[in-house]
Amino acid sequence: MVADASDPAAVVAAAGATQAVVVNPPRRGLGPDLPVLLDGLSAAADPASPTGTLVYSSCNPVTLATDLAAMPHWQPLSARLVDMFPNTDHAEVLVLLGPR
């Protein structure tokens, strides 16, 4: 599935029978609509949904926390801090989520 995250309708259309979703939003996060949409794709929210994995790559831990709080049907399974820019204050946080 490839879709512009700023267009929730495109995400829904592309989701179809997607088993996994990967998001890598800008520093501002996913925005107000996409977390709600992604939460509805969780197999926990919709037992008929085949989506069992969500990977969230974030460069901003504050918006990551906000977005995760807006997706109660997903639970973090593991997380990794990736130092992609040595000698700076910037790092990526990768979070693997599964249905709650």
Do the domain assignments include residue 40?
yes
Closest Cα to residue 11, out of 53, 32, 41? 41
Check 5, 59, 93, 96 and give the catalytic one. 59
Question: Model-level pTM?
Answer: 0.85
Q: How confident is the model at residue 50 (pLDDT cuts 50, 70, 90)?
A: confident
Do the domain assignments include residue 81?
yes
Q: What are phi and psi of 82, to 5 degrees?
A: -120, 120
Q: Is 80 exceeded by the pLDDT of residue 100?
A: yes
Do the domain assignments include residue 83?
yes
Number of domains observed in the structure of the chain: 1
Q: Which residues contact 48 (CB under 8 A, 6 or more apart)?
A: none
Between CA 69 and CA 65 the distance in angstroms is 6
User: Which domain range does residue 84 map to?
Assistant: 27-49+62-91
Do the domain assignments include residue 10?
no
Tokens of 22: 């990967």
59 is an active site residue: yes
Cross-strand bridge partners of residue 96: 55, 78
